Structure 1
Amino acid sequence: MSQVNSFGSKDTLTVGGTDYEVFRVDSVPGYEKLPFSLKVLLENLLRTEDGKNVTRSQIEALGSWVPTAEPDTEIQFTPARVVMQDFTGVPCIVDLATMREAVANLGGDPKKINPLAPAEMVIDHSVIADLFGTENAFERNVEIEYERNGERYQFLRWGQTAFDDFKVVPPGTGIVHQVNIEYLARATMTRTVDGVLQAYPDTCVGTDSHTTMVNGLGVLGWGVGGIEAEAAMLGQPVSMLIPKVVGFKLSGEIPMGVTATDVVLTITQMLRKHGVVGKFVEFYGEGVAAVPLANRATIGNMSPEFGSTAAMFPIDDVTLDYLRLTGRSEEQVALVESYSKLQKLWHDASVEPSFSEYLELDLGTVVPSIAGPKRPQDRVELSKAKSQFEVDLGAYAETTTRVDEALEGTFPASDPVGTTAQDENWSDAPVVTSPSPAHASNPAAVTTADGETFTIDHGAVAIAAITSCTNTSNPSVMLAAGLLARNASKKGLKSKPWVKTTLAPGSKVVTDYYEKAGLNGYLEDLGFYLVGYGCTTCIGNSGPLEDEISQAVQDNDLAVTAVLSGNRNFEGRINPDVKMNYLASPPLVIAYALAGSMNFDFETDALGQDQDGNDVFLADIWPDAAEVQATIDSSIDTEMFTHEYAGVFDGDERWRSLPTPTGSTFEWDEKSTYVRKPPYFDGMTMETTPVSDIVGARVLAKLGDSVTTDHISPAGNIKADSPAGRYLDEHGIARADYNSYGSRRGNHEVMIRGTFANIRLKNQLLDGVEGGYTRDFTTADGEQSFIYDASQHYQEAGTPLVIFGGKEYGSGSSRDWAAKGTSLLGVKAVITESFERIHRSNLIGMGVVPLQFPAGESWASLGLDGTEIVSIAGLEELNSGTTPKTVRVTAVPSEHSPEGKQPIEFDAVVRIDTPGEADYYRNGGILQYVLRSLV
């Protein structure tokens, strides 16, 4: 509650006979030119002004915001609530449980550790598509999910009873972001403070980067690390700089045959190319009113793929209509409308706010598209997908050759496939990766367990998945997929037998409207049976391919593909057997299941023949936009939402019958391999330990550009021959029960062992090696070792560690374990060319200092090879209460360095960007800072 009210902003709003205390943004000079998102921040500061953490000068700085100025003013943003999914949420609750014990050990009251802002978790990341293509796939997958995750779910049930204002949406309900927009989001919040009822904008932070989906509902929110989410739950504001805001003007209308997915892939490519990291994006203009709420949510969802912090749509009549459709009360809708209009948060297309930068898209220019094979921003027009696949295949199928040889379609008789011009000292002809079809082919015969025989090759679609929050919340693309399936089925078409077909909607409402529209049966005819309500393929929970197909892929080193309606397609993420991954709309997912290959041109290649033997092309079965809209209008109603969400926190009989521990502190089970007490507070005292310089460090990894948190953070299946697999073996866990890293996020021992263990990680301390390996310089020869094993040897020797990286280090999901694992491996500093926002912040939150090479320099340009002994001087300046702009890095040759190597020195930029972050670093991390503050 505001204790100062410097601007006299406190007022009363009466709606439907109820009075609400509000803090008016129009009390601050300059408010009228601010974008929607900054008005939300302005209200936040007015309401929380206390003269200490939130001051008059911060509010004035926001009112006098200069759009083109580089962000330099720190503000303290207090989110209204926190949303979590279970992969990233479980460690949050584990840490809160651990903090309760630490508070008690320091002489405080354990119950002080309690969410002070509403916290809601949706268990959506644990279901795996083990079974598919059968009518009982959903039921069996849920049963298996409970068998694998019983310990975690019992722990979460304890948390729901032990912590106030913490609610859990049980398994089998939906995806967190879809549940958020359909039920959890309020648009306008209310609470009683000192006996007075307040109204204020709904804002949130979430432990999943796609929290931005709720931006489509006019709710300002974004993904943070679990570390920051815990602090927000405990009443700590999010320290941030007033950002730049990119205005994105929408005009025109989506053409026939183009989907919302095509629009969002186009916007993703545009904004990633423009550069919006650390910025807000805000959509405006006459075209906004024509964008349905589901499309707005689809666009907002992809904000992490653009790189922006948030991707906002303002509140308008479209917002209100969606709130009504999804079952919000008329009282709530009336409050949202009245409050938004009072606070100038209502969209007025005739008023153009000031923006830092401007982009524009005529929706009429968008064409059908996919994105891949490894990044969401790599958009490919569908009409060019086959030719682009042939180009991209070269990087995955080892068919690189010279331009002149490729044109002739032959290799020299003496040259094996896979040699390059450089290998053979050929001419200076450029090397290309566009093999002719003759050399791209590598067919493998497969006979399945039920006796079916077929041949697969490079480009075969091994997985076709309608999955992920991005699209499953959008009836236009989901019903388009259902209608396409109907049309295909009536023509007698079938999905190819090697395609794993899965349907994982974001909420039960989707299957309700499929049923009402009469489309379930047609989807099932093509193999798209329900496998679960949750985030499956997009996060690597695609489940295994059939054994025979998997074996053929591995034996023949086939570059097979996955097509999914998701938001993430990074290397090594979707399935260990699948090298190339493509994002596509739900109807195109079905189309590719029918085609069976990425090496396919929908304009000229037939999908199959109908009952009369006539060729059937995609254009013949693509549903008409008018029919899609008519189906939406006739198949979706408010009752579906009110029915499905009536008992959303209750769960099924499995959930309700779980044995639930009691008590304010958790009784840790030393035998558990799922939930263990982490070491963050071991030996902690009330006094901070002074910051010290880093001396005598070794390089654990030397990495290139675009190393994502998916490369760093443990994810996917646990391999038997990995350190994590060894740990589980030692603890008596059968290989069949390893489960995934995500399911074991509450056990730091497993997670440390899986950090930097991605099968596609390229640590350039080693030549030609992929995976979680490094050189262990504690050995005489600096021999190859697992990263975890080497880190243990370094820590035993008391040797600190550093990591060298390239550009955009840490982009990808906002995963706390990418930072926690880095810290627990003994890494003290990460030195890169540039950082992604969330990961940089999370590193500080775990006591790791993020540093950048001098502008224009890299480890390569400076001559660093990773064999050096590294020291970093100047960090101790933090003890004086200031943050140094740069520190001196010295890298001297070691016994493992090449002969004649010289010492290298340079000034690295310290990326501790705000005073709040400096406080966290001085305390050894954000959790230690919060704990000391509460005690």
Structure 2
Amino acid sequence: MHTPTNSFNTLSTLEANGKTYRYFALQGGELAGCAAVRRLPVSSRILLENLLRHEDGVSVTRQHIEALASSGGRAVDQEILFHPARVLMQDFTGVPAVADLAAMRDALASRGADPLRVNPLTQVDLVIDHSVNVDSFGSAAAFDINVRQEMQRNHERYRFLKWAQGAFANFRVVPPGTGICHQVNLEYLAKVVWQQPGADAPLAFPDTLVGTDSHTTMINALGVLGWGVGGIEAEAAMLGQPVPMLIPEVVGFELTGALAPGITATDLVLQVVQMLRAFGVVGKFVEFYGAGLDHLPLPERATLANMAPEYGATCGFFPVDAQTLHYLAATGRDADTCALVEAYCRAQGLWRDAHSAAPDYAATLSLDLSTVQPSLAGPRRPQDRVLLPALREATETVIANNGKAAELDTAFALPGDAGSLHHGDVVIAAITSCTNTSNPAVMIGAGLLARNALARGLQRKPWVKSSLAPGSRVVSDYLAQSGLQTHLDALGFNLVGYGCTTCIGNSGPLPDAVEEAVSRHQLVVSAVLSGNRNFEGRIHPQVKANWLASPPLVVAYALAGTTRIDLSREPLGVDPDGAPVFLKELWPSDAEIAQWVHAIGRQMFTGRYRAVFDGDAAWQAIKADAGANFAFAPDSTYIRLPPFFEPRWRGNSGDIVGAPILALLGDSVTTDHISPAGQIPPDSPAAHYLRSQGVPDADFNSYGARRGNHEVMMRGTFGNIRLRNALTPGVEGGYTVLHAKGGGDGARVFIYDAAMAYQRGGVATVVVAGKEYGTGSSRDWAAKGTLLLGVRAVIAESFERIHRSNLVGMGVLPLEFLPGDDRTTLSLDAGVTFDILGIDANLQPQQLLVARLHYAGGATRDIQLRARLDTRMEVDYFQSGGVLNYILEQFSGEPPARA
């Protein structure tokens, strides 16, 4: 670590549990008594400490510190550099990120530089949680079968990660079968206050992080400032590069009152998502405050913080308070850690209690917790909240929109005399995802509801594929100790694995009879899951209506077997005596749930996390290569040498001339649309490639698991089966029309095939979209694949934060239409090409560029586009051909590859 300039003279000392620590005091030195600092949002104060600690007079100056200190929670057009203490990864994004680092070592060696310069300078933890599929379910053997198949499918990936664990410093791997990265982070990895050894005393500072998964924000519940970034940004942070950002606007969200009996944290978060999406918080910090926090335990806060990507914010932050300390102690953190957290946060003004005054915020919202009602969200966006009584109507609307209104009451026979299916039936019921499985109240609630249902003689409907995938093994411990797992098992909610499963799209196949009936009759069926994402084509390719719900409601809909029901009034089944059974009769009381929550012991956490990095026998048996450089196998279909350091991808100056539109897209295009994570369709460019490499269809695995192979991923880019490209109206999937510049004749082709035709002719392309382009997961392959398809620029009405920065990080130019211009007003179609002028060495942040549109009939039109390179460092990244090549320039000492 550098020696801070400390021009404000804020370096001070504090004591905690008999130990002395140094720290940069937010109310010390020249800042002592500064009212503006005292009134800053707590999340802004953490950024301020970060600047004080890294002040060097060059990259972090007094001007930066003063601008943030006086911001009052308002956005300021001032670039600052954020230095996170650590990086968190999951394996879907972690494998390609590590592959990039390995490729950078090769590139440095080829330039005669020391490859060991490529080494994490901050702590990196990678948790393998995204790879387990729900292949087997509904039996005691399901977990063992799924884990065995996971290890077989992913052996090559896991061997690569084991190599990385030995080859890189400051790099730890949490093996598969342990839990979801965000829950492991919350329960074990996070410290709230970090320490760095010093000659006189350790330096204490806030625990901060960036993560390669958008739901990294979950850790904000613990008072740890962190958010999701793309793998590209994470790689830069690992290698010591700060995260460039503008001083953010902070929106305060006041919580008052307390949740009514029977209302879950899931009900609460779905309302908050709806409110904040409507308000508009993309690119902003959200900070929760108010008296309602006194009644909101930390797991409930974690649910709210987790879904910050769904409401669009950079983070959803909770200050440290007594609830934080209680959680730290209950999950096994030691006395020194807890004492330091309290002493440090009190000294720094980061502590919240009932007497804390509300900070200054740029804007505020308020919610009385007592007004929250039971709800779900869907059928395809997490912000589309549906109150429990309205789900029948909402489902029937989906059915009608799919042209099946006349078949509402038609029964379709399942093959083999296995019963019948209706539109709206639930075919997947999954207790899954870090959002809810980290919350003991809703997990125990699900178990108690299962117990009560069994006591009334109910069973899940036979066409429902049910599963339970906790975010940590501690969940299994307290469900087993309470006896509730037995009841869940009896309803088919057996353990299927520890990981994201259905929430990430690893739902596995439907039973053959169900799959055949859905396919044959084009049934509009439903999934109900306790997840955070329900985008089109994500959960399962055959399921068109996906509803987010609390774990107890997941059990309830498995019992009912349909979403064409109002569970607030209609029975979800009948008992053996023929009496109707209503949800309210099965719903457990808050008092009973609390009784079991309080029985969860600290020893469960200390026991489970004592050997968290060891893994099981299968993990330990994996033999990894040794050496500083990885031996990439040219015939591998999982791990290939990434091409990003090849000369053709270096440097990025020069106008774009005559670029056809590769895809013309609408609003709310997600990173799932751009780069799907789930199953590889059998009739897709990626499938054709894998077959050409000798991979049988049964071993295709998923796009997510193949992210270490650019040949698969570029073929899957814009390959979502629900993508709607206006160049091919009426057709869903990864298709486009090839312009004459690529040798096209107007026929429909795969987007990948068109992109390759353009590249063979040396023709650059653009992608055009509407509002909120890149919503969803922090999926770096959505930007990497865009680059490898030869797309020079993406032009949209607005971008989601992470994907915009990912595009910059890969050297793809994000451009925004000015008000009044969009794909409709400009009459864009397959015959239009773009010239984008002014991309030169003098490019400035947020510069207006001229775009000249050439129409098929010969007409032209000039418009202005805003370059969404928001900071000077982003301009440097873009002009180098992306952040990876920028860092390579720094390490190799080569001059920048710019015009």
TM-score grouping bracket, smaller chain normalisation: over 0.9
Partner of 1:17: 18
List per-residue Cα deviations over 1:872-914 (Å, max 9, x = no partner).
11111xx136346211111213xxx3xx462222111111111
Q: Deviations over 1:714-758 (max 9, x none)?
A: 311112211111111111111110100100101111000000000
**Residue 626 of structure 2 is aligned to residue 625 of structure 1:** no
**How far is the alpha carbon of 1:690 from its aligned partner?**
6.2
Residue 922 of structure 1, CA deviation: 1.1
Shift of residue 442 of structure 1? 3.9
Cα RMSD, aligned residues only? 1.4
CA offsets 1:345-384 (integer angstroms, 9 cap, x no match)? 1113431100011100100000100000000010011012
Q: Secondary structure at the match of 1:107?
A: coil
The C-alpha deviation readout for 1:441-493, integer Å capped at 9, x for no partner, is 34310135xxx621101101000000000000000100000000000011110
Pairing 1:168-567 to 2, within 5 Å after superposition: 168-192=173-197, 197-350=202-355, 351-396=357-402, 398-399=403-404, 435=405, 439-447=407-415, 453-567=418-532
Does 2:544 align with 1:591?
no
Which moved further from structure 2: 543-552 or 849-858? 849-858
Q: Secondary structure at the match of 2:218?
A: helix
Q: What residue number does 1:861 align with?
A: 825
C-alpha distance in structure 1 between counterparts of 2:684 and 2:23, whole Å: 56
**Cα distance in 2, alignment partners of residues 901 and 613 from structure 1:** 74
Cα separation, 2, equivalents of 1:594 and 1:494: 6
Q: Is 233-242 or 608-617 further displaced after alignment?
A: 608-617
Cα distance in structure 2, aligned partners of 1:908 and 1:388: 39
Q: Distance in 1 between matches of 2:6 and 2:576?
A: 75
Check whether the contact 1:864–1:904 (CA below 8 A) recurs between aligned residues: no
Provide the C-alpha distance between the structure 2 equivalents of 1:91 and 1:315, rounded to a whole number of angstroms: 35
SS at match of 2:359: coil
Q: How does 1:508-907 map to 2 (within 5 A)?
A: 508-634=473-599, 636-683=600-647, 689=651, 691-777=653-739, 778-876=742-840, 879-880=841-842, 882-883=844-845, 885-893=847-855, 897=856, 900=857, 902-907=859-864
Kept in 1, the 8 Å contact 2:40–2:72? The answer is no
Q: Secondary structure in 2 aligned to 1:174?
A: coil
Letter in 2 for 1:691: S
* AA of the residue aligned to 1:10: L
Instruction: Say whether residues 1:151 and 2:156 are aligned partners.
Output: yes
Q: Does 1:88 align with 2:53?
A: no
3-state SS, counterpart of residue 84 of structure 1: strand
Higher mean C-alpha displacement, 19-28 vs 756-765? 19-28
TM-score of the aligned structures, taking structure 1 as reference length: 0.93
Partner of 1:5: 6
Q: How many equivalent residue pairs?
A: 883
TM-score relative to the length of structure 2 = 0.97
Moved more, 184-193 or 477-486: 184-193
Query: Which stretch shows the higher mean deviation, 377-386 or 884-893?
Result: 884-893
Deviation of the 1:107 alpha carbon: 2.1
C-alpha separation between the residues in 1 aligned to 2:108 and 2:562? 57
3-state SS of the aligned residue for 2:624?
A: coil
C-alpha deviation, 1:16, in angstroms: 2.8
- Distance in 2, matches of 1:374 and 1:385, equals 14
Percent identity of paired positions between Structure 1 and Structure 2: 55
Q: Distance in 1 between matches of 2:40 and 2:419?
A: 61
User: Which secondary structure does the structure 1 equivalent of 2:705 belong to?
Assistant: helix
Q: What letter matches 1:745 in structure 2?
A: R
Please say if residues 79 and 244 of structure 2, whose CA atoms lie closer than 8 Å, have aligned partners that are also in contact: yes
Aligned position for 2:895: none
Question: Does structure 1 conserve the Cα–Cα contact (< 8 Å) formed by 2:310 and 2:382?
Answer: yes
- What's the secondary structure of 2:428's corresponding residue? strand
Report if aligned partners of 1:472, 1:506 keep a CA contact under 8 Å in 2.
Answer: yes
Deviations along 1:55-94, whole A, 9 cap, x unmatched?
A: 11000001110444x4311100000000000000101100
Distance 1:596 1:50, change over 3 A: same
Match of residue 37 from structure 2: 31
Map 1:917-932 → 2, pairs under 5 A: 917-932=874-889
Paired residues of 2:652 and 2:878 also in contact (CA < 8 A): no
Q: Please give the alpha-carbon distance, in whole angstroms, between the structure 2 residues aligned to 1:207 and 1:707.
A: 20
Q: 1:72 to 1:582 in 2, by over 3 A?
A: same
Paired AA for residue 497 in structure 1: P
CA distance in 2, matches of 1:927, 1:608: 57
Q: Report the alpha carbon displacement of residue 2 of structure 1 after superposing the two structures with TM.
A: 4.2
Deviation at 1:163? 0.3
In 2, the alpha carbon distance for the partners of 1:479 and 1:375 equals: 27
Query: What is the CA–CA distance in structure 2 between the aligned matches of 1:100 and 1:829, rounded to whole Å?
Result: 29
Number of the residue aligned with 1:912: 869
How far off its partner does 1:655 sit? 0.5
In the aligned structure 2, how far is the partner of 1:616 from the partner of 1:440?
A: 24
Are the equivalent residues in 1 in contact too, given 2:41–2:72 (CA < 8 A)? no
> Residues 218-274 of structure 1: CA distance to partner in whole angstroms, max 9, x if unpaired?
000000000000000001000001111111111111111211100010111111111
- Structure 1: unaligned runs, 5 residues or longer: 400-434
The CA distance in 2 between the partners of 1:16 and 1:610, in whole Å, is 58
Q: Which runs of 5+ in 2 are unaligned?
A: 893-899
- Distance, in Å, in 2 between the alignment partners of 1:892 and 1:307 is 35
Any idea what SS the aligned residue of 2:197 has?
Answer: strand
Question: 2:459, 2:508 → 1: CA distance?
Answer: 22
Q: Output the amino acid matched with 1:3.
A: P
Three-state SS of the structure 1 residue aligned to 2:71 is coil
1:609 shift after superposition: 2.0
Q: Which secondary structure state, in structure 1, belongs to the residue aligned with residue 292 of structure 2?
A: helix
Structure 2 Cα separation of the partners of residues 130 and 708 of structure 1:
26
Alpha-carbon distance between aligned partners in 2 of 1:651 and 1:195, rounded to the nearest angstrom: 38
Deviation by residue 1:672-693 (Cα, 9 ceiling, x = unmatched):
11000011112389xx746101
More deviation, 597-606/563-572:
597-606
Residue identity in the other structure for 1:923: S
Q: Is the 8 A contact 1:2 1:46 kept in 2?
A: no
The SS at the match of 1:789 is helix
Matches of 2:554 and 2:736, distance apart in 1: 38
What amino acid sits opposite 1:751 in the alignment?
Answer: M
Residue 440 of structure 1 deviates from its aligned partner by 2.5
Distance 2:594 2:4 in 1: 51
Deviation, 1:607, is 1.9
1:660 maps to amino acid: A
Residue 166 of structure 2 corresponds to which residue in structure 1? 161
CA distance in 2, matches of 1:598, 1:495: 14
Q: Deviations over 1:534-577 (max 9, x none)?
A: 00101100000011110110110100000000000011000011
The 1:439/1:551 distance shift into structure 2, 3 A limit, reads closer
Letter in 2 for 1:487: N
Contact preservation (8 Å) 1:442, 1:558: no
The answer on 1:56 being equivalent to 2:62 is yes
Asked if structure 2 preserves the Cα contact closer than 8 Å seen for 1:829 and 1:850, the reply is yes
Distance 1:497 1:869 in 2: 54
Distance 2:676 2:581 in 1: 44
Distance 1:856 1:321 in 2: 52
CA distance in 1, matches of 2:200, 2:92: 37
1:40 and 2:57 correspond: no
Name the SS for the 1:25 alignment partner. Answer: coil
